[in-house]
Amino acid sequence: MTILVTGATGVVGRNVVARLVAAGESVRVLSRRPATGLPPSVEVVAGDLLEPRDEWFAGVDRLYLFPAGDGAVARRAVRCGVRRIVDLSAASVTIGLYENPVEAAVEASGAEWTHVRPGGFMTNLLPAWAPSIRARRVVRHPFPDEAGVPVHEADVAAVAVAALLEDGHAGRAYTLTGPELITNRDQVAAIAAALGEEVRFEVVSREVAREEMRALGGFAADHADLLLGFVNYGGGESSGEGFSDDDYSALLKPWPDVETVLGRPARSYARWARDHLADFR
């Protein structure tokens, strides 16, 4: 049988595909546009999650679902024979800051389901920091002491793949974080250690940081207001103090679910920095 992977060009999806292929699974990828950089054994079909089609699911019994729309694709998948769905969600659901309609649709679909709820990704600031680290070995950011417990995208993918391939995960919601609370300044220090070179941290205002991130385009520009605390997770006006306020306090500690599922500790930020050396050189 085949596993259908949606969101396969994303930071988690690519890791999910690679792990499934390495495990010898038959993998089909859904993409809105021609996907690049995927293993040659992967079957690619064109389509949009907001417009599900029966033919996507021919011979498919398991689905990795990227969160898009209201999750109607989950109902279509089950009608076409899919028995197990693992969906990518967010830790904000765990702590009650967000209700994910895709989770609700997956639970109502009749499939075995597992929710994968990562907190902040270690990659979140990569698009903003990498260009200046490559060019000038400097990070310009307003919150040196802001701390979080970001998770390595490879750990998120590993948990998702375990839930796809192994029994015993049905009806579970896994909240995924890294192994330690780490400040932005210490993240930059970890990148410097991986490079073996000094990387300076320059404190700038949120307004300056936003202007510079918007000039970069792409993810950095699209998410500048959220990453810099101008808006909160729901899109409303924020206090401007980053993500350290009381609403997020439950996510300012390591959660055990990565180790519970994988039988090993979550990867550290230092490991992530070494894994992404090519982005900083």
Q: What is the pLDDT of residue 237?
A: 60
- The pTM score is 0.94
HSE-up (13 A, CA, CB side) for residue 213: 27
Q: What is the pLDDT of residue 244?
A: 43
Beta strands in 131-275 (DSSP E): 138-141, 147-148, 172-176, 182-183, 200-203
Q: What is the pLDDT of residue 33?
A: 78
For 83, 84, 247, the CA distances from 148, given in Å and listed in that order, are 36, 32, 13
Q: What is the pLDDT of residue 229?
A: 86
> Which amino acid, 241?
E
What H or E segment, with its residue span, contains residue 211? helix 206-216
Q: What tokens does 133 get?
A: 């680290």
Angle between helices 206-216 and 126-136 (to 10 degrees): 90
What's the CA gap between 206 and 212, in Å, rounded?
10
Query: How many Cβ atoms are within 10 Å of 198's Cβ, its own excluded?
Result: 9
Q: What is the pLDDT of residue 242?
A: 45
What residues in the chain have per-residue pLDDT under 50? 240-244
Q: What is the pLDDT of residue 100?
A: 94
Q: What tokens does 79 get?
A: 């009608």
Calculate Rg over the CA atoms of the chain: 19
